[in-house]
Structure 1
Amino acid sequence: MRFVMMGCRVLRFSIWVSLILNLVWCSRGFDPVDKYYINCGSSSDFTVGNSNSTFVSDKSASRFLSTPQDILADSNLNSITPSEDSPLFRTARIFTGPSRYTFSIKQGGRHWIRLHFYPFDYQNYDMRSARFSVFAQRTTLLSDFTPRNASVKEYSVNVTTRDLVITFSPSSNSFAYINALEVVSVPDDLITDDASLYNPSAPFTGLMTQSLETVFRLNMGGPFVSLVNDTLGRTWISDSGFLLQPNLATNVSNVGAVRYPQGGATSDAAPETVYGTCTRMNSASDPRSNFNVTWGFKVDPGFQYFIRFHFCDIVSKFADDPIFNVYIDAFLVSPDFELTTKTMGQLATAYFVDYVTPEINKNNLRVSIGPSPRGSYPDAFLNGLEIMKMNNSKDSLAGVSVLPTLPGEKKNLGMIVGVSVGVSVALIMIGVLFFVHRRRKQKRLRYSKTWVPISVNGGTSHTMGSKYSTGTTISVSNMSYRIPFAAIQEATNNFDENLVIGVGGFGKVYKGVFHDGTKIAVKRGNPKSQQGLAEFRTEIEMLSQFRHRHLVSLIGYCDERNEMILVYEYMENGTLKGHLYGSNLPSLSWKRRLEICIGSARGLHYLHTGYAKAVIHRDVKSANILLDENLMAKVADFGLSKTGPEIDQTHVSTAVKGSFGYLDPEYFRRQQLTEKSDVYSFGVVLFEVLCARPVIDPSLPREMVNLAEWAMKWQKKGQLDHIIDQNLAGQIKPNSLRKFAETAEKCLADFGVDRPSMGDVLWNLEYALQLQEAVVHNDPEENSANAIGQLSSQVGEFNHVDTVTSADQFGTSNVDDLSGVSMSRVFSQLVKSEGR
């Protein structure tokens, strides 16, 4: 116990020393325009060290705060004191309801946000059990977070408004707290848009607008670098604890040799104490050495990461520095890297390079350096490394886990506040056991506390009785409701495996029948699936807002017992994909295929135009087009859907998601999402419908593997009829095939601006159907004006009707079905056979 108490005192002292240093840098080097420091819960100001930086008291900062209740916690009033030499941790502000700090921003751009946490007991508030979320404007910084030890969370956000609002939101039946808060300007040129993607290799745009969380900041080959030695007040920890095979590496130090180039890296990028040390490949002058030096990191899956490599050649004596390879995971991101080519032949010159990862789907990340075959001898080195988490498509930086792991807490603590304290084995075991117990308890409660009754557009919620519960919540604005787990169990015969009708990324899909005879499809989330709460919530939010005869209807959802279950109307005839290939289902006629494509296009057109803002599906494919008992098509699976750009924007910058083979290459390259990304995917579906084969088939010859590429080659030759489904032989009229193929080709244009809108696609598909049905058999020239004249007379006259129709044009009574944009209206505008 005595050892534990001594360890805690050392920990607290280290934290306090770090905090003293935290603002000393403000008196020299970069001078931030915006500087806010708040000593939360305190009745007096506190000046850090010998600097002019003062954490103002809670009373002085009250003008920034809006909160439903004033609760100022002071540990000195309790028998347990967190630290006798850490004034910033002696007090805290407690929030019992949503509360926000509003800071006036003098100069827009990047700002540090640092949140200081140290839990202690105050009256009836045990801060070790607090659970809450934190938001900066619309960005989620923390979600269901519970601070366990002294910690400082550091974020870099781009502020474009006059005010920065930081909101603390307690979780259900809990509260929030904060010990100290900082908001400080960051140099504009610290992070620019010069980063590169590496899978595939391409420039990354949009980095300036990303919110970032500091995850790791390492000084390779050197000791801990304190805040006082960094112009921006950052801490750098030693890389030794992250080396996977320390014996393969050696350290080099030559701080005095470091120089900063004109117009290149500056001390703001990293201090001399970082560039002046490095971890080097320990080849021991063995010319046969062939291994990599590798560092391993724990990260949150589901995010992209910004990675900055710092290089400075302090190992070479002449301007023939090593040529080596740089890797992120298994990807060779910088082959044959030769530093002197970047520094104009100068040695010991600071240089950095930035990369952005694809979305990480695992909880670990590795960085490696190793010899290149082009090098004259095997050698490699790295001076510094920064890893920052980027906000995801939900504008969130919150990780998957509610609680960080104990090792993660130690590393973050060391990174942010520079604490390096040995802890006894007994203390670790106690912490681990407590953590496991607490996490299991929270996992049991997690989902039941997450969801509230859905109510869209201000709809009023009511309850409807059932035999399973006293009341099931329903929103009258969207008619979606929470379904008791017992009802779903009964409908699926306790999830009988014989009732499984499909398996997807989210989980298994079961056929079921409610007590009243309603047939349903039940999608049950798999806890091991990579898709989870975000997709579950998105599906509910999207389908509760939209009703259309060509969109699959959401009947309800269930979140009891740690379950994530979605209940849909049952689609008797399964997926479009199942009717094209891979099953024994009868082949569809050409007319039926056209009708299915038209129905799907109507559903997507409604998504793009039928609401205040466009909704982009992001996973359009034949497996997500379902067919009812009459083979009417309905678009399904909205778990990846995303609201489109604002009126004054051209795109949404977001992580790439979708299905391989259907993915828009422009979206993949630039991570800029528009409705035209759905159009591209739908173009692939059109060729899939025509050729009745998988979009990617590795068993075929190389030139045939990718359906879109293969079909486009034949289309450009004017010989697409050579590769169509043999079951369609003799069924398709030439003009109908031509119009259908032209439509698919336009959908697959390399750039979204060259693709048609989904309304235009719908128009042309309906035209292809009419060409198929209304062709003049006795006219040898089917494309003649005579044919078109007869076609126009068949469809009737409705003048001046816009074919791209939104819900607003039809009124609320018709918002659930825009398929009323009939052929008779569409074809009144025909003046030539080419259509649009």
Structure 2
Amino acid sequence: MGHERFGLFIWVWSVLCLVCLSSGFNPTDNYLIDCGSSTNTTVGGRVFMGDNLASKYLSSSQSVLASTSKSDPSTDYSTLYQTARILTSVSKFTFPIGRKGRHWIRLYFYPFVYTSYNMNLANFAVSTQNHVLLSNFSVTTDVVKEFSVNLTSDKLVLTFTPSDNSFAFLNALEVVSVPDELIIDDATRLSTNQNFLGLLWQALETVYRVNMGGPMISFENDTLGRTWVPDQSYLVQKNLATNVSNIEAVKYPQDGATPDTAPKTVYGTCTRMNSEGDPNSNFNITWEFDVDPGFQYLVRFHFCDIVSKSLNQLYFNLYIGYVIACQPVDLSVLATNQLAVALYMDYVVASNTNNKLRVSVGPSPLHGTYPDAILNGLEIMKMNNSDGSLSGLGSVASDSSAKKKVGVIVGVSIAAAFAVVLAAFLFVCNRRRRLARQGLSKTWIPLSINGGNSHTMGSKYSNVTTASINSNLGYRFPFVAVQEATNNFDESWVIGIGGFGKVYKGVLNDGTVAVKRGNPKSQQGLAEFRTEIEMLSQFRHRHLVSLIGYCDERNEMILIYEYMENGTLKSHLYGSGLPSLSWKQRLEICIGAARGLHYLHTGYAKAVIHRDVKSANILLDENLMAKVADFGLSKTGPEIDQTHVSTAVKGSFGYLDPEYFRRQQLTEKSDVYSFGVVLFEILCARPVIDPTLPREMVNLAEWAMKWQKKGQLEQIIDPALVGKIRPDSLRKFGETAEKCLADFGVDRPSMGDVLWNLEYAFQLEEAVIQGDPDENSTNMIGELSPQVNNFGQHDDRSVSTTPFEVSSVDDLSGVSMSKVFSQLVKSEGR
């Protein structure tokens, strides 16, 4: 008897331990149904209720309970696969929802033959109230389809719709609450490095859930009942990878990943680059997955540095397809200077026509780093399309033919009422247009920049004045006026597309403007929208794009700028077929952009750091004068008693300051680094990241620096410039770019220094130097910079004829430094 009690105690203790290990989250809604079964079924410690008890959730005019004794005993769900419910007409499962939010919907299928029903021949659709989960679905082997749906009502209606002359079936069903923090609205859109907002409302289908370098993890050992499969079958070249395990070292941070994000068995194992001690190893580890084309995918990478012995030891690049998603990845920095901390990164991959999705990790080309790379886990989730479907076909199931008729009647009635409202609306719009032509309809309210975060002031219409593109402040435009200016957002008027949204050409009463419209269906870019308004409302400089107005009516995010006839600098360098720029034109553009950035850094009491300097954000007017644009990521610089601003890393791939990335400490020198990349981009006329090139050429900054340090920069310049640049001018330009790309910010010049040297390179191009060749070295940076470090804000354009006595030159917007440099470079001035 004592032994029996002890045995019972051990059994209870084991069950309790298993429950503790696998139930970190207690779901409010937890519906588990073993379809077709007359009794409850326990699988992995979870109880699936019998179909007789679950029948209260099902409304079906025709269904059959089926059973078999031939289910595959090797599957984890073999007991669930012994029974099924066959649905021969449209059927609905309706579940009360106690807690709104994201829920798992798991559908279990194991086809077998029951009397006259061969489930291998079944064809059907499955939908919720708002999403199509499956359509034209058929299955010939056991499969679990897992979906994640955000439920906003107090019930879930799951509809099974058989195709014509067919039927539906289901072996088991789960509807279970998911922790709110599992899917947050903070993913990165691949290629643009912009935030993708709107994940909370996406329906997701789990396509792959992979444990890199480790064994299969069954649902019993996952707090949320998930299954993780090994990665071996997805590796493109298995010999390039090795497995590492150190599960006991894994730590979860206070904020971020939790055991519900992924279990320790995922974070404690990894697939690692098989360098075999060779410091010259140069290859990527690549995994390839089959996907449905035409959808966006949420790709979640799980990382935990279980291989490093010290901080800042492991650096690697992360790729999705042939695009660099993140470079370099330093997990110890992301983990706030700790090792073996669980982390994850979310990326949204744009829909495409390819049915393969590849992910890779590979060594970072950072100088002095050992070639190594790891990945611990990976999840790939399909996102619903614009029709709310995860299958690309079908629509949300309707109730019945009778209800269809009622719908038609109601629809006709609504349409009639809508026609009346539409007629009234068109009358009002037509009247407004006639008033607008007379200059009587638009009154603009000045932008408020001092009253908190809100910019949603009420619209006013009167017969006062019209907007002018020459006004000195930004103004709030009514939405109808923006519609009119853009011909109702005519697609043929689109002049550009970016991460924030489309840019349209617009026409106001007294000139042409550029209208940037954010996505009206989401809050994407709201922070950037506000930042852009707040920043540009303070600045007026001839080398910064001017903000004319904005519109925030009807949940719109619209910014209106001065129109730049020649578009982006990037479009004039490659990819668009525009005529090539001359070297002199390129130098003038560099000088103009440098003036704009120098003004940002020094024009106010606190510096403003742009944070996204790139050729696509340098615009050219009708005279090819450069203006810096897109201030959505800008931040004010550090206080006087501080050296940096600690902030999350944002920017664009290929231009990002590696020191800022490693330390998450932002300074003006981060802009200087990005500008250095732009200088080489202008010189070489090629993308800053080009995965189609050989590995050593992929990253422009690294490739150009190699040639610059060899003193052979002329070998890689734009072919259109070959033989058309004076060697001294090229040397000065290359030295300036090299200084900008110094590894540490303290070693980089200020934008004032950069500006001075670019002006000098310009003069070297125009005049023959007679004298000591050392005059042309980068030593000029140290000698000349004090005179241009702190230009004031007033338009005092006087310049001393003595080169080292430059008086107060304001924002450099209206002064050519040629007077200063003429004394330095022309022989008659010496």
What TM-score does the superposition give when structure 1 sets the normalisation length?
0.49
TM-score by length of 2: 0.49
